[in-house]
């Protein structure tokens, strides 16, 4: 790990800053009113993602001097996360035009992919422009997937903490240090977002959180895929399998049924479990368990050093989550629930 990073204080600063920020945001007056797609029934404060971003930036002060190439990548990831968060905050407050958000996030994803350096090796060499487009697609897809999945108490934070910790363990330098800061800040926010003792969350992340946090995590995963040992690119999607898999498999199910993919729905696996009367706490804990198992598979692939083993770990993760996803949908259909809308 990074020798100039103060390991005892950086994560602690990020955790405490995020926790304090979450308490302040809790009373700031930005409220998420429930609608037909909501998983909550009472107005709940939102904007907790601002606390997570504040925690990350507060923790960054504990990073020591960086090599120029590390500084450029670190600044690019933080800047992209901040811009994504600002767009999310504006959307929380004013509901932005969908076309504007689409173009903005395409541009932001392309810019961050170019700053980090695109993936140009997938077993075969890829042309630079193809690698850039694919890397930007990764950032764009993950950001939107996290945004789609941020609808159940504690689910986003507990799904992303294991991913960030795995990137810390497997990564090096500034990317590894920023990963543990992100995990710590998410932990501070989760104190108010995760209903461990029953009841419901006291604070939601909002779009500022889901979009800003996902852009940072996506940038960290891309940086690891580019700079890590051969085959690291296969481990990046494995780390976010519980979130990315639910979104992509749900979209595939709705596409096969010729549903309009642009229409809002409550067909994600986590939403179906909530409709099956699972508690928000239990759903979040199941996703945390799956995220932990995915992180474990990624670590096994990483320490093996073999590119083929890393790809195998990804296939195992895909297969396992696909079986879980099908089980959830089957349970919902057996109970007479609409699994497409």
Residue with tokens 């920023």: 178
Bridge pairing between strands 31-32 and 44-45: antiparallel
302-308 contacts, C-beta under 8 A, 24 or more apart: 302/170, 302/228, 302/229, 302/232, 302/235, 305/229, 306/231, 307/123, 307/230, 307/231, 307/234, 308/231
Q: How confident is the model at residue 267 (pLDDT cuts 50, 70, 90)?
A: very high
Mean pLDDT of 255-260: 94
Q: How confident is the model at residue 68 (pLDDT cuts 50, 70, 90)?
A: confident
- d(Cα 88, Cα 31) in Å, to the nearest integer? 14
Q: Which tokens go with 170?
A: 């497997």
Q: Where are the domains of the chain?
A: 10-334
E-strand ranges in the chain read 31-32, 44-45
CA-derived radius of gyration, the chain: 19
Mean pLDDT of 131-145: 97
What pLDDT does residue 172 have?
86
In a 3-state reduction of DSSP, which class is residue 254?
A: helix
25 close to 48: Cβ distance less than 8 angstroms:
yes
Max distance between CA atoms of the chain, in angstroms, equals 59
What one-character DSSP code corresponds to residue 181? H
Q: Which tokens go with 165?
A: 């910790």
**Residue 56: other Cβ atoms inside 10 A:** 26
pLDDT tens column, 78-132: 999 999 999 999 998 888 999 999 999 999 999 999 999 999 999 889 999 999 9
- Model confidence at 63: pLDDT above 80: no
Q: Which of 19, 335, 294 has its CA nearest to residue 166?
A: 294
What pLDDT does residue 321 have?
98
- Model confidence at 149: pLDDT above 80: yes
Mean pLDDT of 225-252: 97
Q: Which tokens go with 210?
A: 């889901």
Q: How confident is the model at residue 2 (pLDDT cuts 50, 70, 90)?
A: very low
pLDDT tens column, 12-43: 999 999 999 999 998 876 676 666 555 556 77
What pLDDT does residue 295 have?
98
Residue with tokens 């007056």: 29
| Residue 334, Cβ density class (10 Å: 0-12 exposed, 13-18 middle, ≥19 buried) | exposed
- d(Cα 87, Cα 84) in Å, to the nearest integer? 5
pLDDT tens column, 198-234: 677 789 899 999 999 999 999 999 999 999 999 999 9
């Amino acid at each position: 790990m990074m020798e100039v990073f103060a390991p005892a204080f950086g994560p602690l600063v990020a955790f405490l800053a995020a926790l304090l920020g979450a308490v302040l945001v809790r009373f700031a007056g930005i409220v998420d009113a429930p609608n037909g797609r909501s998983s909550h029934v009472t107005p709940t404060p939102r904007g907790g993602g601002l606390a997570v971003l504040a925690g990350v930036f507060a923790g960054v002060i504990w990073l020591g001097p960086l090599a120029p190439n590390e500084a450029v990548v670190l600044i690019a990831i933080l800047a992209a996360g901040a811009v994504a968060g600002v767009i999310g905050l504006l959307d929380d407050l004013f509901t932005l035009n969908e076309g504007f958000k689409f173009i903005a996030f395409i541009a932001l994803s392309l810019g961050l992919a170019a700053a980090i350096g695109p993936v140009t090796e997938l077993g075969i060499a890829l042309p630079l422009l193809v690698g850039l487009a694919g890397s930007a697609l990764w950032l764009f897809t993950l950001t939107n997937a996290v945004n789609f999945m941020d609808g159940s108490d504690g689910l986003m934070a507990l799904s992303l903490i294991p991913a960030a910790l795995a990137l810390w363990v497997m990564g090096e330098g500034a990317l590894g240090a920023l990963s543990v800061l992100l995990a710590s800040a998410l932990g501070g926010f989760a104190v108010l977002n995760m209903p461990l003792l029953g009841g419901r969350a006291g604070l939601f992340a909002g779009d500022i959180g889901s979009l800003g946090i996902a852009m940072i995590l996506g940038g960290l995963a891309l940086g690891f895929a580019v700079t890590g040992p051969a085959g690291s690119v296969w481990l990046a999607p494995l780390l976010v399998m519980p979130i990315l898999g639910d979104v992509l498999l749900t979209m595939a199910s709705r596409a096969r049924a010729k549903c309009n993919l642009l229409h809002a729905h409550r067909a994600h696996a986590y939403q179906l479990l909530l409709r099956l009367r699972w508690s928000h706490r239990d759903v979040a804990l199941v996703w945390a368990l799956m995220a932990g198992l995915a992180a474990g598979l990624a670590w096994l692939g990483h320490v093996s050093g073999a590119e083929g083993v890393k790809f195998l770990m990804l296939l195992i993760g895909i297969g396992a989550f696909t079986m879980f996803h099908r089980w959830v949908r089957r349970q919902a259909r057996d109970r007479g629930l609409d699994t497409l809308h």
